[in-house]
Amino acid sequence: MQKVNRLQPFFENLAFEREDDTMIINFGPQHPSSHGQLRLILELDGELVTKAVPDIGYLHRGMEKMAENMIYNEFLPTTDRMDYIAATSNNYGFAHAVEKLLDLEIPRRAQTIRMMLLELNRIISHLFWLATHALDVGAMTIFLYAFREREYAMDLMEDYCGARLTHSAVRIGGVPLDLPQNWITKLSKFIDKLPSDIADYEGLLDQNRIWKMRLEGVGVITPEMAQSWGCSGPSLRGSGIAWDIRKEEPYELYDEVDFDVPVSTTCDSYGRYKLHMEEMRQSIRIIRQVIAMYYETEPEIMAHAPQYISAPKEQIMTQNYSLMQHFVLVTQGMRPPVGEVYVATESPKGELGFYINSQGGAYPYRLKLRAPSFWHTSLLQELLPGHYLADVVTIIGNLNIVFGEIDR
Amino acid sequence: MMRKFTQKKNAQKKPYYTDRFWVAPQVPKEEVSSDEIFAKDLEELKSNFDIKDAYIQRGQLVVYIGANENVEVLTFLKHKLEYNFLSELSAIDWLEKSGEFEIFYQLLSTSKRKRIRIKFFIKQNREIRTVSNIYKSADWGEREMYDMFGVIITGHHYMKRILMPEDWYDHPLKKSYPLHGDEEASWYEIDKIFGKEYRDIIGPENRDSSRVDENDTYNFSRIHHEVPFGEKPSSEIVETDYQEDGGVFLVKSLKKADSVTLKERP
């Protein structure tokens, strides 16, 4: 290996002249197919990967440290920056964990709005996954089509909360706003059209010879591997294990809606592609049912818990005591009870968990973020050896990793 | 003159107001016997290991074990009690209070649909054994724990820092580590690129490459106070006409009568 010498350039991407004739290359961290700042140190024998060492940390911002120095409400917008493809699912994961710690009851309307946003985010994330994954593999048309539909979905998010990427669309205790006028009409229009779009993507990819050759039998995650490496979400269900937290440990109103958990038993990238497609259809199905539920709810959108949650704005503006309480909650922050929770939710990428240890103060004593991509990236060291260099791109794209949540 | 007292073991942000008489409520701890599956699991665990404490909090079983039994307990949980996933592991810093780290393993059983948390305390410089042979997900989990807290793990196949650079000083998630980094952290890039001897030459005012200095007229210009390149900054207001002569080219060719306003996105 060449020695890194400061002030002197060196060819950091290649190292030849090893005794066993293998070649070490750096894949990334500035590689368009590494989906962020992933540096992958690959040992190649010809084009065959014999060893892979993922190196992460290029996007490390110390979110857990930041959380220990912030009040709970202050940390919520920071969670946007974890999985920035589907920001609401992070917001929700955090808000839900804190609510569990506080033992709050969330108004039904807020729950329906949250579910709509969560499923919409799942669609956005899956469309983005499909677009970038297909682009990596060489199907540029899909990229353009899928981004078009994602744009419409992001318009809906923008209509609701004003942001397209970093939504902060959920609050601890509920949601900040009721749905804007005509939002449901626009949403219905979007989900009415989406199935035909998904059919279009499938028409382009399902029987596409190149797509199948690049994906079938590539990146096989056996069920044992998936369990041992802590896989979750589509990567786990792609290995034939039907585990969806929405189904098994239902939160919000997921136990009231009717949806299937698609499972693929082929364990390869193609199976996971089919799975993502089916999951989008299930999300559409959930949104349809939730829209009907929305109309039957009372207009309340924030939980009533004066000790932890500010009163509605009208009340703050008219009632002195509510104003005082709001002032204390904003300046000092809520103080949850002493205790700890680990709460997992099903984000588009997998099991998104928040472990919160509260010592009764305004700042969490310890907050651990369990981001699914982190564990999926660690799997690469076992998954990649035995594949060809070109398959590395397929596998990274297929695992749907996002570096905001790996490095946190 | 006395120096101001600063807490070395906890450099975290303190709330500016704390109520002296505030008694924090507790998240209730339930008896393990209240849940059938957990009660059975705990019984099995108790017959094999020394269990220090166990309770259910918010639907999850929390079990305190001895620090030297972590590998055996987790092997037992995986193979005998069907806890097939290690979702998360990490540490909590109690160095200020008792000089200890609290380590937790968060496990999940998909067949029982139950989550369980295994915990134990270790003294600061004590080592723990790796569980990455049982659950491979512990591979990176333990590396992160070492990186963030400096908990030393024996038997791990590749015990290196994971998120921080390899030559980073100290472990950033310890409570003694300030949020904005320590002295070493602020000089890290200078030391790395130029060498320690350049600290004096570069100086603390130049070590941050993203620093913006309003008196620096070489690299920046203050709006309404523009001066020629490299000259002294002035406080006088400069009237600048940012519009180019004759208007902007693109706008000129737009005919308002010919434009169409779309009702909605096609």
Kindly indicate the confidence band of residue A116, based on its pLDDT and cuts at 50, 70 and 90.
Answer: very high
Contact A332 B17 (CB under 8 A): yes
Q: Which region, left, alpha or beta, applies to residue A174 given φ > 0 means left and ψ of -120 to 50 means alpha?
A: left
B-proximal residues of A, 258-317, CB under 8 Å: none
pLDDT digits (tens, 9 = 90+) for B125-140: 889 999 999 999 999 9
Please tell me if residue A32 touches chain B, with a CB cutoff of 8 Å. Answer: no
- Does the model's pTM come out above 0.90? no
Q: Which of A285, A137, A136 is nearest to A210 (CA)?
A: A137
Helix (H) or strand (E) holding A171: none
d(CA A252, CA A96): 9
**Residue A399 and residue A380: Cα distance in Å, rounded?**
9
Residue B145 has pLDDT above 70, yes or no: yes
Rg (C-alpha) for chain A, rounded Å, is 23
Q: Is the pLDDT of residue A199 over 90?
A: yes
Kindly report, residue by residue over A56-104, the tens digit of the pLDDT. Answer: 988 899 899 999 999 999 999 999 999 899 999 999 999 999 999 999 9
Model pLDDT for residues A281-327, shown as the tens digit of each residue: 999 999 999 999 999 998 889 998 888 999 988 889 899 999 999 99
Q: Which B residues 73-102 touch A at CB under 8 Å?
A: 84-88, 90, 92-93
Q: How far is B94 from chain A (nearest CA, A)?
A: 10
Q: Picking from A306-310, B74-78, B257-261, which range would have the lowest pLDDT averaged per residue? A: B257-261
**∠ CA(A140), CA(A264), CA(A234), 5° rounding?**
65
The amino acid occupying position A339 is G
Q: Which residue of A has its CA nearest to B165?
A: A57
A9: left (phi over 0), alpha (psi -120 to 50) or beta: beta
What tokens does A115 get? Answer: 């579910």
Q: Does residue B249 have a pLDDT over 70? A: no
A193 interface with B at CB cutoff 8 Å = no
Q: In sequence order, which residues have a C-beta less than 8 Å from that of residue A16 and are 6 or more positions away?
A: A23
What are the start and end residues of each CATH 1.10.645.10 domain in chain A? Answer: 63-304+336-370
Determine the residue type at A26. N
- Token pair for B119: 């915990």
Structure tokens at A133: 């994954």
* For helices A108-137 and A389-398, angle between their N-to-C axes, nearest 10 degrees: 170
A63-304+336-370: CATH topology is: Cytochrome-c3 Hydrogenase; chain B (1.10.645)
Nearest to B137 among A344, A357, A375 (CB): A375
Predicted local confidence at residue B264, as pLDDT: 81
**pLDDT for A191 beyond 80:** yes
Does A357 touch chain B if contact means CB atoms closer than 8 Å? yes
Residues 152-171 of B with CB under 8 A from A: 161-165
Q: Which residue of A has its CA nearest to B112?
A: A248
